[in-house]
């Protein structure tokens, strides 16, 4: 996974965390509404409708828990719209007030979809246009249900245009604020999830994103492999050539391995001179083959450290392979780390698979 793909995965990861929080809030909110309608208002129709929405909210939360995030996004948006429509009808005894809730749709859509993706961008623009039309023409459509004179028609038309103007102004403010906030959040996410020296994922991001991918692949008994490798005698590089030279080796090591893995895989700096790779849809045989290829590639690479001669180094590699439903992600990491330890103990510059 290159740096651009890593940033996209980080954004998706943060969006999915927001979705988990929002879906939980909506579910709890439905329970509160159900209690209010039942015990305070004693509104049988409201209880029935809210019970149906509560059931949908539970289903939505299950989808999110099972990592079906796209389905969860759509269900959340539809449930919020249905909830505010039902609530406004119950509280105001007329459907006319629910037009104000179209404004709510804009920030919700911005939270749940990524504007940098073409597909998500289409959704955002379509929902925004639809919201502005419904918001501005709500009164205008209501007046078509009764007879009225031309003067009233003009007044309604002007009111509708004013309403659209207000909506556009509000939306423009939300757009500017949301875009600025999202860009700032993405920058913070990159800092929090990217290793500053090598520009690949850091240990924390590898744990969180790896766990998320593991959960998603667990739906269908997917094979996966984990690789953890360590630069042999890296302390001697720092001691003999200086820490700047050591940093150059780490950066070039990351670039070298990054070019050899697929976009669907995760690659991270796991520790000081340790790196970790999550190989999706990879059997034990293929995982061992990939580990050996990386070991051979590093052994035959000369690293430029600003001196006359290129620096030669090697790595010790631990690899393990499983089916997603047969083990927990954290347990798989521990076993892979044990394989790395065995590789070091057995002479270094080799691969050990467990």
SS3 267: strand
Which residues are the active-site residues?
273
Q: Long-range contacts made by residues 86-95, C-beta under 8 angstroms, separation at least 24?
A: 86/46, 86/49, 86/50, 86/53, 87/33, 90/37, 90/41, 90/43, 90/46
| Burial (0-12, 13-18, 19+ Cβ within 10 Å), 302 | exposed
Dihedral Cα 77, 78, 81, 87, nearest 10 deg: -120
What crossing angle do the helices spanning 3-36 and 44-65 adopt, rounded to 10°? 160
Residue 353 CA neighbour count, 13 Å, CB half:
15
How, if at all, do strands 266-269 and 274-280 pair? antiparallel
Q: How far apart are the first and last CA of the chain?
A: 25
Contact 237, 311 (CB under 8 A): yes
From residue 149, alpha-carbon distances to 136, 196, 241, 293 in Å are 20, 69, 90, 81
Contact 353, 287 (CB under 8 A): yes
Contact 340, 228 (CB under 8 A): yes
Which residue spans within the chain are E strands per DSSP? 223-231, 266-269, 274-280, 302-303, 311-312, 315-323, 351-353
| Burial (0-12, 13-18, 19+ Cβ within 10 Å), 94 | exposed
SS3 201: strand
18-31 burial string, b = 16+ CB within 10 Å, else e? ebeebbeebbebbe
């Amino acid at each position: 996974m290159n740096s651009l793909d890593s940033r996209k995965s980080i954004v998706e990861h943060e969006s999915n965390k927001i979705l988990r929080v929002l879906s939980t809030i909506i579910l709890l909110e439905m329970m509160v509404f159900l209690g209010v309608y039942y015990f305070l208002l004693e509104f049988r129709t409201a209880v029935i409708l809210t019970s149906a929405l509560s059931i949908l909210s539970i289903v939505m939360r299950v989808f999110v828990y099972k990592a079906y995030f796209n389905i969860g996004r759509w269900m959340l948006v539809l449930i919020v719209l249905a909830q505010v429509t039902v609530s406004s009808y119950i509280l105001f005894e007329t459907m006319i007030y629910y037009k104000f809730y179209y404004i709510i749709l804009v920030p919700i859509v911005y939270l749940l979809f990524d504007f940098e993706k073409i597909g998500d961008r289409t959704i955002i623009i379509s929902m925004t246009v639809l919201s502005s039309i419904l918001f501005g023409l709500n009164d205008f459509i209501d007046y078509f249900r009764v007879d009225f004179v031309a003067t009233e028609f003009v007044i309604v038309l002007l009111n509708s245009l004013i309403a659209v103007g207000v909506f556009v102004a509000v939306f423009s403010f939300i757009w500017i604020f949301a875009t600025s906030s999202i860009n700032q959040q993405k920058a913070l996410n990159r800092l929090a999830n990217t290793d500053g020296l090598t520009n690949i994922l850091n240990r924390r991001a590898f744990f969180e994103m790896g766990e998320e991918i593991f959960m998603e692949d667990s739906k269908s008994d997917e094979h996966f492999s984990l690789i953890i490798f360590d630069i042999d005698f890296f302390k001697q590089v720092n001691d003999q050539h200086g820490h700047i030279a050591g940093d150059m080796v780490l950066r070039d090591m990351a670039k070298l391995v990054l070019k050899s893995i697929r976009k669907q895989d995760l690659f991270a700096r796991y520790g000081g001179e340790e790196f970790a790779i999550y190989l999706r849809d990879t059997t034990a045989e293929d995982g061992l083959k990939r580990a050996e290829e990386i070991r051979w590639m590093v052994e035959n690479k000369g690293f430029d450290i600003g001196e006359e001669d290129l620096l030669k180094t090697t790595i010790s590699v631990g690899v393990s392979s499983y089916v997603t439903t047969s083990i927990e992600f954290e347990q798989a990491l521990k076993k892979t780390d044990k394989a790395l330890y065995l590789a070091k103990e057995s002479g270094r510059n080799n691969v050990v698979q467990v």
